[in-house]
Amino acid sequence: MIPEDHPRYASLVAREKIADAVKSGIVVIEGASAHGRGEAFDYLLGERTTKSAACAERTAAAFLIRAARPVISVNGNTAALAAGEIGALARASGALVEVNLFHRTEKRMQAITRHLEAHGVVVLQGAAERLLPLAHDRALCLREGIYAADVVLVPLEDGDRCSALVSMGKTVVTIDLNPLSRTARAATVTVVDELTRALPVITRSCEELGADEAAQLVRRHDNARLLAEAVAAMQETLTHAVD
Amino acid sequence: MIPEDHPRYASLVAREKIADAVKSGIVVIEGASAHGRGEAFDYLLGERTTKSAACAERTAAAFLIRAARPVISVNGNTAALAAGEIGALARASGALVEVNLFHRTEKRMQAITRHLEAHGVVVLQGAAERLLPLAHDRALCLREGIYAADVVLVPLEDGDRCSALVSMGKTVVTIDLNPLSRTARAATVTVVDELTRALPVITRSCEELGADEAAQLVRRHDNARLLAEAVAAMQETLTHAVD
């Protein structure tokens, strides 16, 4: 048991959730390594939602509520860390939820779907087809889901897949703690924040944003500036560390 | 198979070795997350041995060859990534090799010992006793090994254990990609470099360093400066990324 007053409580709980999810087959071992990479960048971010990340989260919400067919793409790490938060965001934004895995097996697809459903998430079902411009099973998605979406939220996504969705003309919102990653650079909106901090802020913004404010956030959006601000926050942490 | 000309070949091979070692019980899932954290910091370091890391590696060698009873403490990640390199360093430095685990079970102790022996490493054997100033099984080590050592090389070590060894008056050399970690700050010599890049440089230095040069390296050693230079290298990567 991790004591609740531990200064890094949230981070340690997340680490434990990932380890448990590896044991239950929801997360692959590579997912545990990827989680570790995220932890390192979150540490540099100060394990907090920066002002610039909060702006990215409101902007993400603006794109989602203005979308005609928003879809949330969920992988193993996202399901393990934030099943409940994904459900809340789907309800607040009207987005469909599709399970989409990099290391795809039928067994994992089912385990993740069951896990999400146990947390009250309605998961889109159907026969996946090779519809994305990627090799092999990476191309698989649902025709009525990601393929038909105009706005896709892909938390913790691989760079190739993020780029493929952008190349299809979709608006891609990602949540990625590494502001230098290919995903972060390719996406339309990059939220540089930890998943379970980011999702509730996006959800609340979906509920609160008026049409005018949402339109303004979309008009004023500048992803390069958001990324530069995230990098600046990390540089500050490094600078203070050697003071 | 990862193509050898992939720009991040070494990093991807290491990631695969860790995943395989989780499957074979040498590395715990927490070890895979820890490896990911290291990857993130190595990315910021430019995945290269910086000039300052090379200096840290020569200094580490100087401490090892001047030691009366040097010991290399090996955990699961170190064994999985660098069994052969540990053997070479043990031979070049005259250090003993002791297996010492944070998540300690008899089964893992044996699996790691067998893995090291298969790579030609002579592993110190014996009955572990609670000799370190730490709670529970964290205190376990060998009386003739770490307990009796004057210089201990602990790659990829936990902060509490590194501090405990320092508090016992030992010279502690660590290899840690996070220059801000408690381990990095507590150690006598911190090599901020990736394990399989660092170990061969330390080994070669053990073979090449003369007595005068080794004495000078020890005399001139300034760990705070090494850490500051590692942080500066990471800041440079972040700065160039947003140019």
pLDDT in tens, A146-159: 999 999 999 988 88
pLDDT in tens, B59-118: 999 999 999 999 999 999 999 999 999 999 999 999 999 999 988 999 999 999 999 999
Q: Say if residue B50's pLDDT is above 90.
A: yes
**pTM of the model as a whole:** 0.93
What is the model's pLDDT at position B158?
85
Interface test with A, best of B2, B11, B27, B29 (most A CBs within 10 A): B29
d(CA A72, CA A83): 12
Model ipTM over 0.85? yes
Q: Are the CB atoms for B150 and B67 separated by under 8 Å? A: yes
Q: Which residues does chain A have within 8 Å of residue B180's beta carbon, measured at their own beta carbons?
A: 43, 237-238, 241
Interface test with B, best of A15, A26, A29 (most B CBs within 10 A): A29
Residue A27 maps to a domain? no
pLDDT in tens, A22-60: 999 999 999 999 999 999 999 999 999 999 999 999 999
What confidence tier does A84 reach under pLDDT thresholds 50, 70, 90?
very high
Count of domains observed in chain A: 1
Q: Say if residue B12's pLDDT is above 70.
A: yes
A85 by Cβ neighbours in 10 Å (0-12 / 13-18 / 19+) ranks as buried
Residue B62 maps to a domain? yes
% of chain A beyond a pLDDT of 90: 87
What is the model's pLDDT at position B159?
87
Do the Cβ atoms of B39 and A41 come within 8 Å?
no
Do the Cβ atoms of A33 and B40 come within 8 Å?
no
Q: Nearest Cα to B149, choosing from B88, B86, B214, B72?
A: B72
Q: Say if residue A1's pLDDT is above 80.
A: no
Residue A30 maps to a domain? no
d(CA B61, CA B109): 27
B242 part of contact set with chain A, CB < 8 Å:
yes
Quote helix, strand, coil % in chain A, to nearest 5.
60, 10, 30
What is the model's pLDDT at position B6?
75
Residues 176 through 205 of chain A touching chain B, CB cutoff 8 Å: 178-180
Do the Cβ atoms of B29 and A29 come within 8 Å?
yes
Average pLDDT over residues B120-127: 96
d(CA A122, CA A130): 23
- Picking from B36, B235, B241, the nearest residue to A238 by CB comes out as B235
Do the Cβ atoms of A33 and B35 come within 8 Å?
yes
Q: Are the CB atoms for B120 and B87 separated by under 8 Å? A: yes
Do the Cβ atoms of B235 and A235 come within 8 Å?
yes
The dihedral formed by the CA atoms of A38, A41, A43 and A46, expressed in degrees to the nearest 10: -120
> Which residues have C-beta within 8 Å of that of residue A99, sequence separation ≥ 6?
A73, A74, A75, A79, A109, A112, A113, A116, A123
Do the Cβ atoms of B180 and A43 come within 8 Å?
yes
Residue A97 maps to a domain? yes
Average pLDDT over residues B209-233: 97
- Picking from B227, B228, B238, the nearest residue to A234 by CB comes out as B238
Lowest pLDDT segment from A122-126, A161-165, B3-7, B211-215 = B3-7
% of chain B beyond a pLDDT of 70: 99
Q: Say if residue A143's pLDDT is above 70.
A: yes
Do the Cβ atoms of B227 and A235 come within 8 Å?
no
Domain residues for the domain of B59 are 51-242
What is the model's pLDDT at position A103?
87
Do the Cβ atoms of A32 and B37 come within 8 Å?
no
Q: What number of other Cβ atoms are within 10 A of residue B210's Cβ?
A: 9
B222 part of contact set with chain A, CB < 8 Å:
no
Average pLDDT over residues A217-225: 98
Q: Which residues does chain A have within 8 Å of residue B17's beta carbon, measured at their own beta carbons?
A: none
Separation in Å, CA of B137 to nearest CA in chain A:
17
What is the model's pLDDT at position B137?
85
Q: How far apart are the first and last CA of chain A?
A: 34
A127 part of contact set with chain B, CB < 8 Å:
no
A33 part of contact set with chain B, CB < 8 Å:
yes
pLDDT in tens, A91-108: 999 999 999 998 899 999
B58 by Cβ neighbours in 10 Å (0-12 / 13-18 / 19+) ranks as buried
Q: Where are the beta strands (DSSP E) in A17-170?
A: 70-74, 96-99, 129-130, 140-141, 151-155
What is the model's pLDDT at position A74?
97
A13 part of contact set with chain B, CB < 8 Å:
no
d(CA A187, CA B42): 24
Q: Nearest Cα to A58, choosing from A226, A236, A232?
A: A226
Residue A32 maps to a domain? no
Average pLDDT over all residues of chain B:
95
Do the Cβ atoms of A37 and B34 come within 8 Å?
no
B13 by Cβ neighbours in 10 Å (0-12 / 13-18 / 19+) ranks as middle
Pull the structure tokens for residue A120: 């009250």
Phi first, then psi: give them for residue A51, nearest 5 degrees.
Answer: -60, -40
> Which residues have C-beta within 8 Å of that of residue A90, sequence separation ≥ 6?
A72, A96, A97, A121, A122
Per DSSP, the three-state class of A15 is helix
Residue B14 maps to a domain? no
Q: Say if residue B243's pLDDT is above 70.
A: no
% of chain A beyond a pLDDT of 70: 99
CATH number for A156: 3.40.50.12640
Do the Cβ atoms of A178 and B40 come within 8 Å?
yes
What is the model's pLDDT at position A243?
65
DSSP type of residue B210: -
Residue B43 maps to a domain? no
pLDDT in tens, B134-174: 988 889 999 999 999 999 999 988 888 999 999 999 999 99
- Picking from A36, A178, A237, the nearest residue to B32 by CB comes out as A36
Residue A34 maps to a domain? no
